[in-house]
Copies of this chain bind each other. A is one copy, B any other.
Amino acid sequence: MKKSKAVVLLSGGLDSAVTLAVAKAEGVLPHALSFSYGQRHAVEIQSAKKVARALGAKKHLVMDIALDKIGGSALTDAFAVPKDRPASVLSEKIPVTYVPARNTIFLSIALGWAEVLGAEVIYLGANAVDFSGYPDCRPEYIEAFERMANLAVKAAVEKRMHIRIRAPLIHLSKARIIQKGMALGVDFSITHSCYDPTPAGLACGRCDSCRLRRRGFQEAGLTDPLHYAS
């Protein structure tokens, strides 16, 4: 039987790599989509390319979109990425690393590509447990996007397809995500999580994303293969 196609949003980070592995395990033909959006950690695109190759994505499309023209985030602007924040504050409020409407923009472009490919599922590595600060990672947001998507595109309106947004990690802790990835053979040494890498591309070890990743590996009882600057 011919496999059905799916679009997988792939940042090059840990969560999206596991999501791609889940998509493969679920039997779809994954088409990976990454964005160069003016992020200070543009090195993640290189990781995305390695992950797409390693996990056998059928295609990998990298779209450029200069969200730094819009600004409003520590990831695209010149303001500082917070460091060494205690775990207790991580989920208290929406952090400055939030990028305005990022998942909406990425999912919209994924939606356009899905329609052209005839792919009925878009995989997204959103997670609402650890690091639950981002509003566009919550189940109610994802449901609302899916509803809108099925009113937006020709293929859905003509009833030839029904678009589904699948976020398989949404209720998992970082430790569980790492364990799942290990079980599916994800090579975490090629993933990139850091928001503020050194000029040489080394993970800082101190931003929220590095801290959550390290804690995740610790809680999972596994060794993080990444080298950190500190």
Task: List the interface of chain A (C-beta within 8 A of B).
Answer: 61, 63-67, 69-72, 94, 98-105, 107-109, 111-113, 115-116, 135-136, 138, 140-141, 144-145, 147-149, 151-154, 156-158
Q: Which of B64, B70, B111, B148 contacts A100 (CB 8 A)?
A: B111
Contacts A105-B109, A138-B151, A141-B151 given; 8 further ones with Cβ under 8 A?
A: A70-B112, A72-B112, A101-B109, A105-B112, A107-B108, A140-B151, A144-B147, A147-B147
Cβ of A192 to closest chain B Cβ, rounded Å: 23
Closest to A138 in B: B151
Closest chain B residue, CB of each to CB of A135: B157
Residues of B within 8 A of A108 (CB): 101, 104-105, 107-108
Q: How would you classify the secondary structure of chain A's contact residues: helix, strand, loop or mixed?
A: helix
Copies in the complex: 2
The reply to whether B152 and A70 form a contact with Cβ atoms under 8 Å apart is: no
B153 A116 Cβ-Cβ under 8 A: no
A-B contact pairs, 9 of them (CB 8 A): A63-B69, A64-B66, A94-B154, A100-B154, A104-B149, A105-B108, A135-B153, A144-B147, A148-B148
A144 pairs with B148, CB closer than 8 A: yes
In the complex, the answer to whether A66 meets B63 with C-beta atoms within 8 Å is: yes
Closest chain-B Cβ to A66's Cβ sits at a distance in Å of 7
Contact A135 B147 (CB under 8 A): no
Bound-state CA distance A213–B94 (Å) is 46
Contacts of A157 in B (CB 8 A): 94, 135
Q: Chain B residues with Cβ under 8 A from A151's Cβ?
A: 135-136, 138, 140-141, 144
Residues of chain B within 8 A (CB-CB) of A99 are: 112
